[in-house]
Amino acid sequence: MRYFIVFVLSLVFISCSPSQDEIQSQIDIAVNEAIEQTESDSQFFEEKIQNLEEKIEEINEEISKTNKDKFFTWGTEYFKSIVDIGYLDADDNIIKLGTGAIISSDGYVITNYHVVVGVQDFALFNYSEYDPEQKKWIDPETNEAVEMLSANWISGSMCNDLALLKINSEREFSNLDWYGDFEPGLEVFTLGYPSVGLGEMTVSNGVVSSLRYFGDTQWAAPGFNTFGHTAPIFFGNSGSPVLSQDGKIVGINYTAYQEEDEQFSISYAIDNQIIQQIVDGYLIRGNDYQSIGVDGAAQNLYLYLPEDDDRNLPFYYVDLVHPGSIAENAKIEENELLFFFGDYYVGQDDFSDFGVDGAPMLSDLCGLINDWEKSADESIELTLYSCSLEEFYVATLSKSGESYEPFRVDNPFEDFTENEINLACLENT
C-alpha cells in the first residue's frame, strides 16, 4: 500500500511539472517583458535628457540676450568704464585723442601708447548723450552736464603700444575685469569713441577670427601677443577695449588692416593676458617697458631714393618726444632720424624686416631696446641725424634719467651723402 501511494504521487508530480517548451516560453515572455521595460525606461530617460537640453538652451539664450541687451542700453557699468580721452590746448579747446578703459576702482586707465604719447595731462569723459534743447552733453543717469575728469600719464610701452593713465579723483569708479584665455569664434564687442560716433559711445560686434596674429608694424611690435577680430573699428577706436558678452576685457584695439583686393578689414587687438603682465609688472609701478619715450615709425631710405637705386638704409623717424622721458633727458628732439642704437642698425639692412606694404617694422629696434633694458649697462649711445640742423650727432640714453650733452659727429655712412639723407627729412616734415 505504501509503495502504491508513492507511485501515485510520482505520477501526479510528473503530470504537474511544466514541459521544456513551456519553460522556454515563460523565459521568452519574461525576456520580452524586460526588453519592453528597458525600451520604455530608455525612451523615458531620453525624453528627460532632451527636455533638460532644451531647457539649458533656453536659459543660455536668455542669458545671451540679457548680456547683449546690456550693451545697447545707456547706463550700464560697461559704458561707465570706458572713457573718451583728450587734452586741453593752450586755448582750452578739447583735442580728442582716442579711447581708454578703466581697469581699477581707483581710476587707472589703459589705452594705446600711440594715442597719448607726447601729452602729460588729459581730459577724460565718461559716456554721455547730447541734449539738443540744453545744447550740451549730459549724464543720462543724472540729467546733469557731464563731468570732465582730469588724468595724468603714468608710464608706457612704446613697443607694445600700451600706456597707463591715472584719473585724479578720490571717488570709486566702475571698472572692467580681464577675460583670460579665449578661442576663435568668441563673440566680442568693441566699445569706444571713434569720430563716426560724433562724441557718443559707439558699439560694434563680431567674433575672434584668429589667435596669435603677428602684430608688428612700423610703429609697434607686440609680436604674437595679438589677435584678429571682426568687430569694425574706426579712427578714434584706438585704445578701446574688446569685450566679451559679460563685459570682460578680451583685448585692447590698436589697429585695423585691409588686405589688397579685399572688401573688408580685420581689426587687431593686444591680448588681455600680456597687457596684465605689462601693467602689473611695470606700468602700474611707474616704470616704462620696452620704451625710450619717443613716437614715430621705422623706415628705410630706399623708399625715398630714385626707383632704379637699390641701396637701402634703415632708420627710425622720431615724430615726437614724450615729456620727462629718457629721450627728452638725452635731448633728442622731434623730426630726427635714428640710425644706430649702440653699435647696431635700428633695422635690418637686407630688407628682411619689411612687412605690410613693403614697409620696415619696428621689431628690430624694439629688440635692441629690450636687450638694453635687461642688461647691466646704465647708458647707451644713439646716433641720429637732425633734420633741422642737417647734421649727425650722438645722444646718450640713461636708465637713471641722468642728462648727457649730445655731441656732433661726421657722416658715418660712406655710401650716402647728407643730401640723400635729407630726402627722408623733406618727405616727413
The CATH number of 72-283 is 2.40.10.120
The set of residues, in sequence order, having a beta carbon less than 8 Å from that of 379 and lying 6+ positions away, is 396, 397, 398, 399, 402, 404
pLDDT single digits (tens) 198-216: 777 888 999 999 897 788 9
- pTM of the predicted model as reported, rounded to 2 decimal places: 0.81
Instruction: Kindly list the domain boundaries of the chain, sorted by start residue.
Output: 19-67, 72-283, 294-428
CATH superfamily name and code, 294-428: PDZ domain (2.30.42.10)
Cell 623706415 -> residue: 299
Beta carbons of 280 and 104 less than 8 angstroms apart: no
In order along its 429 residues, the chain shows pLDDT tens digits of: 544 444 444 444 444 455 666 666 776 676 666 666 666 666 766 777 777 777 777 776 665 555 555 544 434 567 889 999 999 998 889 899 999 999 999 999 999 999 999 999 999 998 887 778 877 887 877 788 888 999 999 999 999 999 999 999 999 999 999 999 999 999 999 999 987 767 778 889 999 998 977 889 999 999 999 999 999 988 888 999 999 988 899 999 999 876 666 556 789 999 999 999 999 999 999 999 999 999 999 999 999 999 899 899 999 999 999 999 999 999 999 999 999 999 999 988 777 777 766 678 999 999 999 999 999 999 999 999 999 999 999 999 999 988 999 999 999 999 999 999 999 998 887
